[in-house]
Structure 1
Amino acid sequence: MTTTTTSTARCDIAVVGESLIDITIGGDCTRERVGGSPALLARSLRRLGIATTLLTTFGADRHGRALHGELTRCGVRVVQAGHPAARTSTVTAHPDRPDTETVVLSWDLVHTDVPSCDHLHVGSIAVVRAPGADDVARLVSRRHPDTTISYDVNVRPSAMGPRHISIVRIDEMISRSDIVKLSDADLEWVRPGERHGDAMRWLMSRGPAIVVVTHGAAGATGYTRSGSVRVRGHRVDIGDPAGVGDAFMAGLLHAMTGRGLLGRNTSRPLRAIDLDDLRGILHHANLCAAQAIDVA
Structure 2
Amino acid sequence: MTTTPTSRVRCDVAVVGESLIDIVVAADGTRRECVGGGPATLARGLGRLGMATTLLTTFGADPHGRAIDQELSRCGVRVIQAGRPAARTSTTITHLDRPGADAVDLRWDLAHTDVPACAHLHVGSLAVVRAPGAEDVARLVSCQDPDTTISYDVTVRPSVMGPRDTAIARIDEMISRSDIVKLSDADLAWLRPGERRGDGIRCLMSRGPAILVVTHGAAGAMGYTRSGSVRVRGHRVDVADAAEWGDTFMAGLLHALTGRDLLARGTDRRRLRTIGLDDLRGILRDANLGAARAITPACVPPAHIDALAAAG
- Same-fold status (TM-score > 0.5): yes
2:202 paired residue number: 201
- Determine the C-alpha separation between the residues in 1 that align with 2:185 and 2:67: 32
Give the drift of 1:239.
4.9
1:25 paired residue number: 25
1:266 paired residue number: 268
Secondary structure of residue in 2 paired with 1:118: strand
Paired residues, number: 286
Secondary structure of residue in 2 paired with 1:13: strand
Contact 2:57 2:81 in 1 (8 A): yes
**What pairs with 1:273-292 in structure 2 (closer than 5 Å)?**
273-291=275-293
Give the drift of 1:238.
5.6
Alpha-carbon spacing, 1:294–1:83, altered in 2? closer, same or farther (3 Å) = closer
Give the drift of 1:294.
8.7
Contact 1:11 1:263 in 2 (8 A): no
Question: Structure 2 length normalisation: TM-score?
Answer: 0.88
- Percent identical among aligned pairs is 73
Secondary structure of residue in 2 paired with 1:34: strand
2:171 paired residue number: 170
Matched, 1:83 2:84: yes
Secondary structure of residue in 1 paired with 2:262: coil
- Determine the C-alpha separation between the residues in 2 that align with 1:88 and 1:294: 21
Give the drift of 1:95.
1.1
Alpha-carbon spacing, 1:293–1:141, altered in 2? closer, same or farther (3 Å) = closer
Matched, 1:219 2:220: yes
2:60 paired residue number: 59
- Determine the C-alpha separation between the residues in 2 that align with 1:55 and 1:293: 21
Question: Structure 1 length normalisation: TM-score?
Answer: 0.92
- Determine the C-alpha separation between the residues in 2 that align with 1:148 and 1:25: 39
Secondary structure of residue in 2 paired with 1:161: coil
User: Which shifted more, 181-190 or 285-294?
Assistant: 285-294
Matched, 1:257 2:268: no
1:7 paired residue number: none
Give the drift of 1:121.
0.3
| Structure 1: gaps spanning 5 or more residues | 1-9
2:100 paired residue number: 99
Give the drift of 1:295.
4.3
Alpha-carbon spacing, 1:239–1:17, altered in 2? closer, same or farther (3 Å) = closer
- Determine the C-alpha separation between the residues in 2 that align with 1:293 and 1:48: 10
Cα deviation digits, residues 102-136 of structure 1 (max 9, x gap):
11111111142222111000000000000000110
Alignment root-mean-square deviation, CA:
1.7
- Determine the C-alpha separation between the residues in 1 that align with 2:273 and 2:199: 21
**What pairs with 1:26-175 in structure 2 (closer than 5 Å)?**
26=26, 27-175=28-176
